[in-house]
Chains A and B, each alone.
Chain A
Amino acid sequence: MSTVFIALQTNEDTRPIIDAILADNPHARLNEQPAMVKIDAERTLTVRRSSIESLLGRDFDLQELHINLISLSGNIDETDDELTLSWNA
């Protein structure tokens, strides 16, 4: 099974984002490293705008992710509401 991942800086901006990703993807694993986290997940991982907004308490544009994003892997599909990473094989 192939793993996708998203890596984010650890700071106050990303805390609700990381929490939202982990809540929405129960199969994901949190891998904490100095100054960053790497979230690994089998096959697919979804980042949901609505989940982040409810933790953040304000409107959130998914493209704000770019500011604190470190790296990712997988094929990406992004809409206004969701960013999905996935491998086909």
Chain B
Amino acid sequence: MDMQATKKKLGLKERYQVMTRGLDWTPSYQKMEDIYPYVAYEGIKIHDWDKWEDPFRLTMDAYWKYQAEKERKLYAIIDAYAQNNGHLSVTDARYINTVKLFLTGVSPLEYMAHRGFAHAGRQFPGAGPRVACLMQSLDEIRHAQTQIHALSNYNKHYNGLHEFRHMHDRVWYLSVPKSFFDDAVTAGPFEFMVAIGFSFEYVLTNLLFVPFVSGAAYNGDMSTMTFGFSAQSDEARHMTLGLEVIKFILEQDPANLPIVQRWIDKWTWRGYRVLTLVAMMMDYMLPKRTMSWKEAWEVYFEENGGALFKDLARYGITMPKCAETIALEKDHLSHQAWGTFYNYGAAAAFHTWVPEKDEMDWLAAKYPESFDKYYRPRLEYWREQAAKGNRFYNKTLPMLCQTCQIPMLFTEPGDPTKICYREVDYKDNKYHFCSDHCKEIFEHEPEKYIQSWLPVHQIYQGNCFPEGTDPTGEGFDPLAAVLQYYHLEFGRDNLDFEGSEDQKNFDTWRGMATKNV
């Protein structure tokens, strides 16, 4: 990069003052509570907004300069990758299923984050957090756009990416990430900042963007590597904002501590449940693996998050209670999730498969306590059945957790042979949960979570068929109708990778790229 470092007239700290608080003013003819109507109702007490300090002290002029440089680099790489048919250099076509899951599950969240930060930023009376939220809001729309641009190249060649936005609002497993973000943006501005700025950005995104994106590079996907790292370069700033928010709120008033602690507990768990998809992507969907989910969790949560919570102990913050449950799940999470998707492979917009023998050996080495004992025999049985022409597809619909909306696939903490069920009676209805933590979240805010749009309930209520469908008609096929409603083409976008159009096309095209035909 040939970047000029210009001589500044002001130092970093003075420039930050001038370009944030220096641009603010005190209103004279409107009341503060009318301008910032949402700032008080959550119970957070702020006495001095000027105590806010952005550690990076990034100002808007510098922001535009560096973001423009990031975009130039990113688009040069994306163009080169597309022009060179880079999609044919990925390890094998199974890999492409990770980008399908990414585009349908994650990219729409980037757009929601853009909206969320624009909204939350508007609500804060302090100029420092408003400027930081403005930058993050712009970052997030950039992430949505660059991901859509980068992955559109795959849509030209492979199935399952064509209706990512339509699917995001409808498909059963996509309600997990969607409802997570909808939950956050419908909270108050302080809770949103703790939910996304802290629990998600600081504690958890390292697991999504760092080892997974490094894994994309390892599997030859230069376009995902480049948008992933480009996004993550902004995340470093977001994490800093997230940590700053927590420290600022806690330093302002001791009465804020119990409110913040409850939000940290809630959102660490909510974020972790969404990462179930990432766990499965890392352990099962990357043909060449860099790091197991368990290893990534140990590095980025236990080690890094542990250091963070030790640092925050001076404010009275403690490690979320759910960390103990998570530690018990880390040997099982990805295996249970992949097993579920293998079951429901007829209703997913990506392909599933049984891992090859060398991949099972890798899993056994990474999960010596669990893989050979609980999960390999099941996978081998499925492979035998598939070889006999009995590829297993589950045709019934699973019960979903009312809070995280994930099928009840998780096992009891400490007993991987027993499915974990919890239930609560509330106002004449029974609600079901995957864990003690999802149950506790519901019990604290039942009026919010009884409104959950649960895909399975909606299907049974007849709300997920194309308009004009008659479910009482002769030979009605509910699965076919639901897939039409999803805009998911049976036999093309779903089912096993073995025998898929993606598999055939990739082999043919790669052959054409290396031989004269």
B-contacting residues of A (Cβ < 8 Å)?
Answer: 2-5, 7, 9, 13, 33-36, 38, 58-61, 63-64, 66-80, 87-89
In the complex where A3-B304, A67-B233, A70-B236 touch, is A79 in contact with B210 (Cβ < 8 A)? no
Q: What CA separation (Å) do A80 and B313 show in the bound complex?
A: 30
Residues of B within 8 A of A88 (CB): 311, 314
Q: What CA separation (Å) do A35 and B57 show in the bound complex?
A: 28
Residues of A within 8 A of B236 (CB): 66, 69-72
Interface string of B306-321 (1 = CB under 8 A from A): 1110110110000000
B476 is an interface residue with CB less than 8 A from chain A: no
B214 touches A71 (CB 8 A): no
- Shortest Cβ gap from B395 to chain A (Å): 40
Q: What CA separation (Å) do A8 and B308 show in the bound complex?
A: 20
A89 touches B311 (CB 8 A): yes
Residues of B within 8 A of A34 (CB): 214-215, 217-218, 290
Q: How many residues of B contact A (CB 8 A)?
A: 49
Q: What CA separation (Å) do A64 and B6 show in the bound complex?
A: 11
Residues of A within 8 A of B8 (CB): 80
Q: What CA separation (Å) do A61 and B215 show in the bound complex?
A: 31
B12 touches A4 (CB 8 A): no
- Shortest Cβ gap from A34 to chain B (Å): 4
Interface string of B499-510 (1 = CB under 8 A from A): 000000000000
B12 touches A9 (CB 8 A): no
Residues of A within 8 A of B229 (CB): 9, 35-36, 70
Q: Which of A68, A74, A77, A79 is within 8 Å of B233, CB to CB?
A: A68
Residues of B within 8 A of A35 (CB): 213-214, 217-218, 225, 229
Q: Which of A36, A63, A76 is within 8 Å of B214, CB to CB?
A: A36
- Shortest Cβ gap from B211 to chain A (Å): 8
Residues of B within 8 A of A69 (CB): 233, 236
Q: What CA separation (Å) do A63 and B66 show in the bound complex?
A: 8
Residues of A within 8 A of B311 (CB): 2, 75, 87-89
List 7 other contacts, CB 8 Å, given A2-B311, A9-B233, A75-B243: A66-B56, A70-B236, A73-B304, A75-B55, A87-B311, A88-B314, A89-B314
B314 touches A64 (CB 8 A): no
A73 touches B56 (CB 8 A): no
The residue on A at minimum CB distance from B202 is: A73
Q: Which of B66, B210, B308 is within 8 Å of A71, CB to CB?
A: B210
Residues of A within 8 A of B240 (CB): 72, 76
CB under 8 Å from chain A, chain B span 217-238? 217-218, 225, 229, 232-233, 235-237
In the complex where A35-B225, A36-B229, A87-B310 touch, is A67 in contact with B217 (Cβ < 8 A)? no
B308 touches A66 (CB 8 A): no
Residues of B within 8 A of A68 (CB): 233
CB under 8 Å from chain A, chain B span 47-80? 55-58, 62, 66, 69-70, 73
Residues of A within 8 A of B5 (CB): 58-61, 64
B239 is an interface residue with CB less than 8 A from chain A: yes
- Shortest Cβ gap from B11 to chain A (Å): 6
Q: What CA separation (Å) do A69 and B234 show in the bound complex?
A: 8
Q: What CA separation (Å) do A73 and B243 show in the bound complex?
A: 10
